[in-house]
Amino acid sequence: IKEEVDLVFPLFDGSENGYINRKALIDWVVKVYNGRKALAHALTDTKTAVKQLNKLVTGILVVITIVIWLLLMEIASTKLLVFLASQLVVVAFMFGNTCKTLFEAIVFVFVMHPFDVGDRCVVDGVPLLVEEMNLLTTVFLKLNNEKL
């Protein structure tokens, strides 16, 4: 237990003299509580983003599975595949920019990961608090609890 005390004791303010006062203990407990609360929010929002990504990937895999199934059952011929490929080109042309934006959002949220829920940011000189992160949107709170 001495090793644990030696590990935790320096985390308290004013512990240099060998004692912990009541205010230092309360401040430390509040800081730990706020940290755990922010971590819980971050994990919840990460789960939300992963669920959205899961729906997207599942939809794509269902379409690919149906096409492969049609080929294996010899229901689809090359004429049907050429038709589907031409329709895919049309869809890619129509939704190409949306796909690009979605890919950039996935990289931003999961790879760059610039902030977590509970972080404070300053945008255009306005202090904001990150409340929620999704794939394409982020919800910020102003100091007066106004959502952006």
Residue-range domain boundaries for the chain: 2-141
In whole angstroms, give the CA distance from residue 78 to residue 59: 23
Q: 0.75 exceeded by the pTM? A: no
In whole angstroms, give the CA distance from residue 89 to residue 91: 5
Number of residues assigned to the chain:
148
CB 130 within 8 A of CB 138: yes
In whole angstroms, give the CA distance from residue 50 to residue 111: 13
pLDDT in tens, the chain (148 residues): 778 877 777 777 766 677 778 888 888 888 889 888 877 877 777 777 788 889 988 998 998 898 888 888 877 777 778 888 898 888 888 888 888 888 888 888 888 878 877 788 888 888 998 888 887 888 899 988 888 8
